């Protein structure tokens, strides 16, 4: 059973750096994903501006609908955002296929968003975000 690990942002950021050789500077919140007590994934909120937050997810083959709902609930309830922005490498076929099923909408291409690779941008907002977070939109 997957559970969330909270209030250890620095340790989770260090785990992401060591396991994925990736560093997010200036993140706003990190939340770990535990599966039977083992750390298997982490999502990090960054570039928060009061209305929008970017989301980065680390943990191949660990994302599921339950985790996505928890991410949305944290973004809405704790950060108070009205949208979540996600980007992925243009060649990441698994994420590109699955992200639309979760309600994210394609928003464009960020040329050289990952060095020599382009990034694809997606947004989750409005009714889709509220539905994912288990909320009713007013």
Domain ranges of the chain: 2-132
Work out the mean pLDDT of the chain and round it to a whole number.
93
Yes or no: domain 2-132 corresponds to CATH 3.40.630.30: yes
pLDDT higher than 80, residue 138: no
Residue-level pLDDT at 101: 87
Q: How many CB atoms are closer than 10 A to CB 88? A: 20
What is the rounded CA–CA span in Å between residue 53 and residue 83? 7
pLDDT higher than 90, residue 97: no
User: pLDDT class for 108, splitting at 50, 70, 90?
Assistant: very high
Residue-level pLDDT at 8: 97
Edge to edge, the sheet with strand 105-114 lists 2-5, 27-35, 38-46, 52-58, 83-89, 117-125, 105-114
Token couple for 129: 């975000």
pTM, rounded to two decimals: 0.89
């Amino acid at each position: 059973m997957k559970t969330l690990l909270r209030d250890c942002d620095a340790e989770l950021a260090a785990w992401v750096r060591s396991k994925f050789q990736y560093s997010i500077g200036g993140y706003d919140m990190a939340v770990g994903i535990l599966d039977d007590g083992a750390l298997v994934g982490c999502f990090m909120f960054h570039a928060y501006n009061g209305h929008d937050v970017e989301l980065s997810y680390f943990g191949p083959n660990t994302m599921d609908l339950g985790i996505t709902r928890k991410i949305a609930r944290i973004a809405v309830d704790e950060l108070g955002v009205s949208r979540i922005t996600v980007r992925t490498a243009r060649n990441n076929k698994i994420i590109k296929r699955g992200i639309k099923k979760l309600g994210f909408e394609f928003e464009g291409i960020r040329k050289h968003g990952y060095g020599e690779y382009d990034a694809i941008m997606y947004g989750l907002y409005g009714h889709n975000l509220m539905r994912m977070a288990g909320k009713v939109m007013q």
